[in-house]
């Protein structure tokens, strides 16, 4: 026959085990933070025949105030958004976009981004700016970027041509999930970098004169 003290100890042990199980269950269900980046893409190809690289400056990108936060901002309806607390950008979104554009442009022109360093004395460089008007993430629908961007050629540090300012909107269809949204934005930024390169090439080849330059399609 089990004594009362033994039964009491057994009950206490069972309760403690139950509380520990509940505690561990709560810990195991805590969401894990995931971090995403927009950078990446093709490796920069060296200039052919040992030619000098094309130098450019990718100026700091600006984004709307509601996007200046680490969490992903997801559109849930007309005029409504959700902050995805456990799905965050690896760095400030403006820097993620700027890095993506810098890498995409460099890869296409065999170029060097000298914004944080310096181009050789007397060289030609292209100053590039980007102001993001919209950066929309709608799961199961689309990833959209709407950007006003500019390119200006500088010869030996002096302005060598007219400022070219354009606006591009790219929308990519996406499936459900955050990975799909990030892939959509990366694809849109890749198209944007290709469009900016068209403007750089036009100025490089002297196709932009005194008249207002035409913007590439995009």
**CA angle (38 as vertex; 66, 59 as ends), nearest 5:** 70
What pLDDT is stored for residue 14 in this prediction?
A: 46
Half-sphere exposure of 48 (CA within 13 A, CB side): 2
Q: In this structure, what are the phi and psi dihedrals at residue 16, rounded to the nearest 5 degrees?
A: -65, -40
**Interatomic CA distance for residues 169 and 216, integer angstroms:** 12
Residues 6+ apart with CB under 8 A from 217: 195
Q: What pTM was estimated for this model as a whole?
A: 0.80
Six-digit token string for 217: 């399609």
Pick the CATH number of 34-204 from 3.30.565.10, 3.40.50.300, 3.40.50.10610, 2.40.50.70: 3.40.50.10610
What pLDDT is stored for residue 159 in this prediction?
A: 66
What pLDDT is stored for residue 201 in this prediction?
A: 92
Tell me if 123 sits within 8 A of 204, measured CB to CB: no
10-residue block means of pLDDT along the chain (218 residues)? 49 46 53 90 62 90 95 87 92 97 94 90 92 96 97 79 90 96 96 95 73 65
What pLDDT is stored for residue 198 in this prediction?
A: 94
What pLDDT is stored for residue 206 in this prediction?
A: 77
Q: Where are the domains of the chain?
A: 1-30, 34-204
């Amino acid at each position: 026959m089990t004594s009362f003290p033994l039964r009491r100890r057994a009950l206490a042990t069972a309760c403690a085990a139950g509380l520990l199980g509940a505690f561990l269950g709560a810990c195991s269900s805590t969401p894990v933070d995931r971090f995403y980046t927009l950078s990446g893409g093709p490796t920069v190809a060296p200039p052919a025949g040992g030619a000098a690289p094309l130098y450019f400056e990718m100026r700091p990108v600006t984004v709307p105030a509601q996007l200046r936060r680490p969490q992903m901002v997801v559109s849930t309806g007309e005029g409504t958004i959700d902050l995805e607390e456990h799905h965050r950008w690896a760095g400030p979104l403006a820097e993620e976009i700027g890095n993506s554009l810098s890498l995409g442009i460099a890869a296409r022109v065999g170029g060097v981004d000298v914004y944080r360093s310096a181009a050789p004395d007397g060289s030609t460089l292209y100053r590039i700016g980007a102001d993001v008007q919209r950066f929309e993430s709608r799961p199961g629908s689309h990833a959209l970027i709407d950007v006003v961007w500019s390119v200006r050629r500088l010869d030996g540090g002096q302005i060598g041509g007219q400022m070219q300012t354009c606006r591009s909107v790219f929308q990519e269809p996406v499936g459900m999930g955050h990975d799909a949204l990030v892939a959509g934005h990366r694809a849109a930024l890749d198209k944007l970098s290709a469009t900016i390169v068209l403007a750089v090439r036009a100025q490089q080849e002297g196709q932009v004169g005194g008249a207002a330059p035409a913007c590439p399609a995009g």
